[in-house]
Chain A
Amino acid sequence: EAQVTQNPRYLITVTGKKLTVTCSQNMNHEYMSWYRQDPGLGLRQIYYSMNVEVTDKGDVPEGYKVSRKEKRNFPLILESPSPNQTSLYFCASSWGTSGVRYNEQFFGPGTRLTVL
């Protein structure tokens, strides 16, 4: 089944404790992206990747890191989480080197993160 998977689905952590949220897709998509969703703000892009070893900042990259060493995986790293990073996070992927201009995005199930 074609899908985007994220782990963990739920995470409660404390300020400053490094964490990684994994994202994997089995559709051989070139483009992958991370979003955070907050009430009243919609979905805001954190980072995106056009292909292996090619990443770029979205609209809210501060406090996050990403890497794209393999085509299927795009982990999101929070080196020192803070309470303002409490949010619902979605990973998404789409095919094609033209990015999202003409291609639908497939979203993972989401990771709900709480930073105390």
Chain B
Amino acid sequence: GQQVMQIPQYQHVQEGEDFTTYCNSSTTLSNIQWYKQRPGGHPVFLIQLVKSGEVKKQKRLTFQFGEAKKNSSLHITATQTTDVGTYFCAGLSYGGATNKLIFGTGTLLAVQP
């Protein structure tokens, strides 16, 4: 079955450093979504990528969808303590069921002031 892996599982950075999490799928994806979960909270939608090679930016966050639509990345520039949390990618297999998002295992980001 489809699997979505994320690396790293955990990253600790100093405030102001950059951070990147990578998401890799075993199958080609039709689209990918990114969610953020603050400690003790629930996942909150950040963005969706649909097109091959797509790049989207939200302030300090840059999201990329690979050319082959099997991988994606989230890059945060100059991290802040408000960026703390777990970042999940979630993808739908190309040609697969339209109703089942497969979530990655998540990357926990810790930011030291």
**Residues of chain A having any CB pair with chain B under 8 Å:** 31, 35, 40-45, 48, 50, 56, 58-59, 90, 92, 98-102, 104-110
Q: Is B59 an interface residue (CB 8 A)?
A: no
Contact A107 B44 (CB under 8 A): yes
Residues of B within 8 A of A48 (CB): 99-100
| A42, A44, A108, A109 pick with most chain B CB within 10 angstroms | A42
Selected A-B contacts with CB under 8 Å, 10 pairs: A40-B9, A42-B106, A48-B99, A48-B100, A99-B98, A101-B31, A101-B92, A104-B45, A107-B42, A108-B42
Contact B92 A100 (CB under 8 A): yes
Among B6, B98, B101, B105, point to the contact of A98 (Cβ < 8 A): B98
Residues of A within 8 A of B48 (CB): 102, 104
Q: Which residues of B from 79 to 113 have beta carbons under 8 Å from A?
A: 88, 90, 92, 98-106
Contact A99 B99 (CB under 8 A): yes
What 18 additional pairs, Cβ within 8 angstroms, besides A35-B103, A45-B102, A99-B98? A40-B9, A42-B88, A43-B103, A43-B106, A48-B99, A48-B100, A58-B100, A59-B1, A59-B102, A100-B98, A100-B100, A101-B98, A102-B31, A102-B50, A104-B45, A105-B45, A107-B42, A108-B42
Q: Which residue of B lies closest to A90 (CB)?
A: B42
Among B50, B99, B103, point to the contact of A44 (Cβ < 8 A): B103
Knowing A31-B99, A48-B100, say if A101 contacts B30 (CB, 8 Å). yes
Minimum CB–CB distance from B72 to chain A (whole Å) comes to: 15
Contact A90 B43 (CB under 8 A): yes
Q: Is B33 an interface residue (CB 8 A)?
A: yes
| B103, B104, B105 pick with most chain A CB within 10 angstroms | B103
Minimum CB–CB distance from A106 to chain B (whole Å) comes to: 7
Contact B99 A56 (CB under 8 A): yes
Knowing A42-B105, A42-B106, A104-B33, say if A50 contacts B99 (CB, 8 Å). yes
